[in-house]
Amino acid sequence: MFELNKIFIKKIGWVDYTYSDYNSKIRLNFKDPIPYNQNISFWIRNSDNLFLIAESIEKEKKQNKVLEYKFIICKDSDKIDYKNSKSIIINSNLELMKLIMDYEACNEEYQRHFKLTKLLK
Q: For 2-41, write each residue's pLDDT tens digit.
A: 788 899 999 999 988 775 555 544 556 676 666 655 788 8
pLDDT-derived band at 99 (thresholds 50, 70, 90) equals very high
pLDDT recorded at residue 114 = 84
Q: What is the pLDDT of residues 62-79, one digit of tens each?
A: 566 667 888 989 887 767
Mean of per-residue pLDDT scores for the chain: 79
Q: State the average pLDDT over residues 104-117.
A: 87
CA dihedral 46, 70, 53, 117 (to 10 degrees): -50
Instruction: List the chain domain ranges.
Output: 6-120
